Copies of this chain bind each other. A is one copy, B any other.
Amino acid sequence: MDEQTASWREQGKPPMLFKRFAFGSYAQTRAFLDALAALSEETGQHPQNINFGTTYVNITLDAADGATLGEAERAFAARVDALAGSSG
């Protein structure tokens, strides 16, 4: 597992990266979701699935080529981690 995405769980065939983010309030969840949408807009990369309630967001990233998780996916995951840090 790449150090950059150590906190993400690699699962499934083809492999995907999964992580759950928990927040103290809906306002923080909302700020994170808005920042995540902006990141997708900026990079053109979209999580395979985003699943959220008022105080949690589950994110699944799939392999762009449908087979192997590469540098692009890991870099996106690291940027999502950074967003979560700043929505705290």
Contacts and interface: CB of A to CB of B under 8 A. Distances in A.
Interface of A: 26, 30, 33, 37, 46-54
A50 B48 contact: no
Contacts of A50: 51-53
Given A26-B46, A30-B37, A33-B37, 8 more contacts: A46-B54, A47-B53, A49-B52, A49-B53, A50-B51, A50-B52, A51-B51, A51-B52
Nearest to A56: B49
15 contacts: A26-B46, A30-B37, A33-B37, A46-B53, A46-B54, A47-B53, A48-B53, A49-B51, A49-B52, A49-B53, A50-B51, A50-B52, A50-B53, A51-B51, A51-B52
